[in-house]
A = this chain, B = another copy of it.
């Protein structure tokens, strides 16, 4: 994987712009659990994910969390460089959910090229539109989907990401993903267990009937 693989508009950049992007990008390894970016003040730069998994989330004044979206191999994280745009008036925290290798392109280098390259500016627009779409999807879920469906969807997604039917995850962590208190998660998981869809044990959740969980998501 190379810097140019992240930019479908690469060939529309000048040689000098390509060089500045390539030379500006620095390799980093982020340990699982580390917070890479926190809030608006912090301007880490653009993250190009080589391998791993990041989580972008919002935190309330009281410390409650909700996951906005996740980033995977070949994704670009824009909001870690939110200082590039004055109109970004919200704070997102980004943490590594798995050990992650990535490139960081400093915000000033990227912004400088974007200021003179319409292709790069329009591509950046598309990245933002894609994240905006994910947040709008989430808003729809929160507004109009009942919690049992959201939890069922989350368990199946986790199972796919971890490639396992047995999830090592606490009820509190699930609450932080879905934006609900731990007790609400526990109550619904117990209901799922009574219905035979999962089996709960100390710090793990085993999915015992993925088909019924999937049917619940669709319902």
Interface residues of A (CB under 8 A from B): 58, 60-62, 64, 66, 85-90, 114-118, 120-122, 124-133, 135-140, 142-144, 179
Contact = CB atoms under 8 A, between A and B. Distances in A.
Overall SS of chain A's interface? helix
Q: Which of A64, A85, A126 has the most CB of B within 10 A?
A: A85
A87 B130 contact: yes
Contacts of A114: 118, 122
Given A61-B144, A90-B136, 8 more contacts: A58-B140, A85-B126, A85-B129, A88-B132, A114-B118, A118-B121, A121-B125, A135-B136
Given A87-B133, A128-B132, A60 B122 contact: no
A92 B186 CA distance: 35
Contact of A124 (B90, B120, B125): B125
A90 to B, nearest CB: 4
